[in-house]
Amino acid sequence: MPTVTDIKKQKRSETRYSIYLDGKYVLSLSDLDLSNSGLRVGHEVSEERVQELQSQSQGSKAYAQALRYIGIRPRSEREVRDYLVRKETAPADADTAVERLRGLALIDDLEFAAAWIRHRQSVNPRSRRRLEQELMQKGVERGTIEEALRELDGDTELDTLVALIERKQRLPQYSEREKLMAYFARQGYGYDVIKRALERVQK
């Protein structure tokens, strides 16, 4: 059976260790996985155990990559999966990583969608249709989007649009009603709500 001849902390990742069997690098393990494995220099390891540890290594590596990715900013599940595909992660390892993140509530598409909507509306308000399109591009399911958009009712959208119209009307290029309507139609607002908002502004 192969013998563990060396265990070295990796330079690029201080939480992972390279495992050498019979003088050759075979796999790497996270510090937690290494601790749980019981591996020590001089220990003999069966081929079956080596394969098991290699599989565990790939799974923990995928999890660590995904964890770093969502640490930059919140991500949808589809974004995380697409990222792991770009990292050439095996589908089974990607599934394991995503399930682990979901179990820890680090991936939650409903919370992601709600946070996305809150941020967008506070920074640069936009129509329900535009928000829906953006979230669909992030891979969020339509049912989840609809649930997240429940707080953004018709009155809220109308109030938002009134404020946007009042702001845009100050600009020379949007002084005409037709140009304003065309602009907000391109932003995803329906003509009915645009007309209602214009009527309120003009009162």
Residues sharing a CB contact under 8 Å with residue 46, sequence separation 6 or more, in sequence order:
1
Whether residue 175 sits in one domain with residue 131: no
User: What six digits make up the tokens of 122?
Assistant: 């506070």
Which range marks the domain in which residue 74 is found? 4-103
Q: State mean pLDDT over 168-197.
A: 83
Main-chain phi, psi angles of 188, to 5 degrees? 100, 5
Residue of 94 and 13 predicted with greater confidence: 94
Q: Are 138 and 109 in contact (CB under 8 A)?
A: no
- What pTM, to 2 d.p., does this model score? 0.72
Q: How much is the pLDDT for 203?
A: 62
Whether residue 98 sits in one domain with residue 12: yes
Per residue in 85-135, pLDDT (tens digit) is: 999 999 999 999 999 999 999 999 999 999 999 898 888 888 888 899 999
Whether residue 25 sits in one domain with residue 95: yes
Name the 3-class secondary structure at 125: coil
User: What six digits make up the tokens of 83?
Assistant: 């990222």
In terms of DSSP H, where are the helices of the chain?
31-37, 47-72, 77-86, 91-103, 109-123, 128-137, 142-148, 154-168, 177-186, 191-202
Whether residue 182 sits in one domain with residue 96: no
Whether residue 139 sits in one domain with residue 203: no
Whether residue 81 sits in one domain with residue 14: yes
Closest CA to 65 of 37, 41, 93, 45: 93
Tell how far CA 88 is from the center of its chain. Answer: 18
Mean pLDDT highest for which of 10-14, 31-35, 54-58, 141-145?
Answer: 141-145
Whether residue 63 sits in one domain with residue 122: no
Q: Are 86 and 75 in contact (CB under 8 A)?
A: no
Whether residue 166 sits in one domain with residue 121: no
Whether residue 115 sits in one domain with residue 96: no
Number of domains in the chain: 3
Whether residue 14 sits in one domain with residue 65: yes
CATH number at residue 10: 1.10.10.10
Q: How much is the pLDDT for 33?
A: 86
Whether residue 62 sits in one domain with residue 17: yes
Whether residue 122 sits in one domain with residue 53: no
Percent of the chain with pLDDT over 70: 99
How far are the Cα atoms of 93, 97, 156, 197, 200 from residue 159, in angstroms, in the given order?
46, 42, 5, 8, 10
The count of residues in the chain is 203
Q: Is the pLDDT of residue 17 over 80?
A: yes
Report the alpha-carbon distance of residue 94 to residue 62 in Å, rounded: 6
CATH number at residue 130: 1.10.10
User: What six digits make up the tokens of 53?
Assistant: 């540890």
Main-chain phi, psi angles of 90, to 5 degrees? -60, 140
